[in-house]
Chain A
């Protein structure tokens, strides 16, 4: 008696299709064809329905979905690559990686990321379904945390930045400002003010030394002058002779 191998997860109706022994052969063959047909139909339904089921899960403005917007030409200019199915596959794989990393499991797969509504912008919606339960969507908050955690890796996979690979609703974390210990301007200021003070001190010391030398020179000259009685005027008025101020030319002030 040909017994149909009923798959283990098959619905009970198939399992009850075991033909009792002693039935006429025509009934048996009929049962067999019917079973085969049912199995095929159910498999077909399953195969067709799963994407349909998934399709209903992924919709624009889905409650647990995110919209992604990609601007490749803005980011890369001449070296922009074309967005095609392979790139989409990479995206789904990257998202699965992000989910794995966040939950620290290895259960997520490319099939768990569902995308829909792709436009030529390039933009599309995606949802994440749980690997254990294909009808259950991962909540929005968890997806956001997973994306934020691996944002850098996701960006780099596509050679894009936070601005050109946008997850609408997930804001990029702000870059940490570089805070050096000493503000750079203080360093420049220190160099400049040190040079200026060194210059001031150098100039003051050198003029002091010059004055000392001049005084020493003039003192020696003065002693010589006292020895010599009549000497010409070097600087200032010579008190030895009679200075005739009739030759002064300082009468250039306006008389009142």
Chain B
């Protein structure tokens, strides 16, 4: 740990400190900017009327995202502890909020690093010529291509069969896929090496992981804008459809996107800011991190959609060429007389003269709009749609490697925050035995998480990951954030909090922040929470299964969750947040039974302590 500038807390332990402000800011930005900025925001932008979506998004950022961000950074910096310690300090009854944060961070770390492992697998496979997802493999006796691959596409086959080896439904668990276990081990090893010395090594690592994605996005931007079809993709993305603003679903999705994108309520931000010195302007930090996060989302959507436009264009041309070939062969027209440009005229004239022969050919309807509408988000965007686009670009290996390294950096820097949200509270709870060095403790936690994440390496792992993503990574966060803001604004008191902020930043928070913390943000959070739960309750719990024996294969089969799986879903949503009332009740019982709470000042009376001279500092 760095020796200079140690600041003590009352136990006399040394709290680590950031080497410089840049490391702290880059870590927070890296935590906030994650995979969702690249593969969720562009999708939302596209389906919700392009440029018009920016309005609810920015409103949610200003009135909900920034206040929450400022709040978390401020309390972490002032109270200088991880999430559990901080909420215990603010009100022992609300210590459960910290416990809930830690549990949720734990669950998210499990599945988030599995996605990083998938990215690593694709990265390892990008160093081949030709790319393995560009062609179908031959079957056993070399007579033809594998049937499953022929019926779907090589890209789908590589993702569902050669990467996941997915089972047809959730009841069949399948076996552990060794190549996935290997990738997962690599991912956790890389996370561990960055965490070995705590924020000292993290601070060094984020110089690369937080900045590299921007470099790659710029390279892709330049490349993508020169590809044919990029222009159509961008127009499609940014054409504003103002009518969409009347749909409440848009506002809900904008609020949830901002919320999950900023990574609040994980406890990681509190931990990171707790390593700051107290006299640091966290207001500027919060605004900076929030604005950079949103700007990155918007900046990332440009090359993504340029490339998706290119892909749509390529598919359109391929579709047309298939039709052209069919017409040329049927009517023995000279080679290349029908081109993409004059296809319409040829088709009309041939259809006029020989309509029966033309209809027998069963030509496909090729519409550029339909191809542009084939959007995807999440893993589908990265591992299916984007990989297909990369095959058509000259020099595919380079683009594939760059893209997956970028995704890896984004995921890794977010993992730092996730893991920090687990480690710092455990340190603060004094659950670490004194004899155990920090490196060993971190190693044990990483090993434990790796072993638990092996469930995602089974055949049905992807289905479980979707469950974790939807049920853990959504409602618990909203509940935790709501309690956070209520705790600080009403229980801790906005007056006391303003005094703290004046101590740290040098000025009191202005009326905008106060109004947000007191009224607007809790109200918005409450409305979003209720609406989200209502929408989820209305959609029946189903999942999309990849079943080669399905009648409509290659379409995914929509199956309902089995009962025991649905019970697990409900548990996943509720167990983390159940700690909030549990801890409150526990404290209440303890208090009512007359014993003092965990306040060591009272527990260890020191004969030299003259408590009459305890000065009440205005906090």
Interface, chain A (partner B; CB < 8 A): 69-74, 119-123, 174, 176-177, 184-189, 192-193, 196-197, 199-200, 203-204, 207, 211, 235-237, 242-254, 256
Contacts and interface: CB of A to CB of B under 8 A. Distances in A.
Interface in B311-341: 328-329, 332-336
Q: Which 7 A-B pairs have the closest CB atoms?
A: A246-B613, A73-B336, A185-B124, A236-B12, A119-B332, A121-B332, A245-B609
Contacts of A248: 10, 614
Nearest to A244: B610
B575 interface: no
A245 B610 contact: yes
Contacts of B124: 184-186, 188-189, 192
B208 interface: no
A250 B192 contact: no
A174 B610 CA distance: 90
Interface of B: 6, 8-10, 12, 14, 79, 89-92, 120-121, 123-125, 127-128, 137-138, 142-145, 182-183, 185-186, 189-190, 192-193, 196-197, 201, 328-329, 332-336, 437, 439, 492, 591, 597, 599, 601, 606, 608-617, 619
A203 B182 contact: no
A122 B334 CA distance: 7
Given A121-B335, A174-B142, A235-B8, A185 B127 contact: yes
10 contacts: A70-B335, A122-B335, A185-B121, A189-B124, A193-B186, A245-B608, A249-B617, A250-B10, A250-B601, A252-B617
Given A207-B197, A254-B91, A256-B597, A188 B614 contact: no
B193 A199 contact: yes
Contact of A123 (B189, B332, B613): B332
B186 A245 contact: no
Contact of A193 (B90, B92, B189): B189
Nearest to B179: A185
B190 A196 contact: yes
Contacts of B334: 120-122
Nearest to A206: B197
Contacts of A120: 332-334
A119 to B, nearest CB: 4
Contacts of A199: 193
A121 B617 contact: no
B192 A200 contact: yes
Given A123-B332, A203-B197, A254-B492, A246 B12 contact: no
A235 B333 contact: no
A211 B601 CA distance: 31
B612 A72 contact: no
Given A71-B335, A121-B335, A185-B124, A256 B92 contact: yes
A197 B197 CA distance: 15
B606 A245 contact: yes
A200 B193 contact: yes
Nearest to A75: B335
A237 B13 CA distance: 11
A177 B142 CA distance: 10
Contacts of B192: 200
A106 B332 CA distance: 36
A184 B130 CA distance: 11
Contact of A204 (B12, B79, B196): B196
A252 B193 contact: no
Given A121-B328, A253-B89, A203 B196 contact: yes
A252 B619 contact: yes
A244 B615 CA distance: 12
Contacts of A176: 142
A106 B552 CA distance: 55
Contacts of A122: 334-335
A197 B189 contact: yes
Contact of B439 (A174, A188, A196, A207): A207
A251 B619 CA distance: 9
A176 B128 CA distance: 16
A242 B615 CA distance: 18
A251 B335 contact: no
Given A245-B611, A246-B611, 11 more contacts: A71-B336, A123-B332, A174-B142, A174-B144, A184-B125, A184-B127, A184-B128, A185-B127, A186-B124, A250-B601, A251-B616
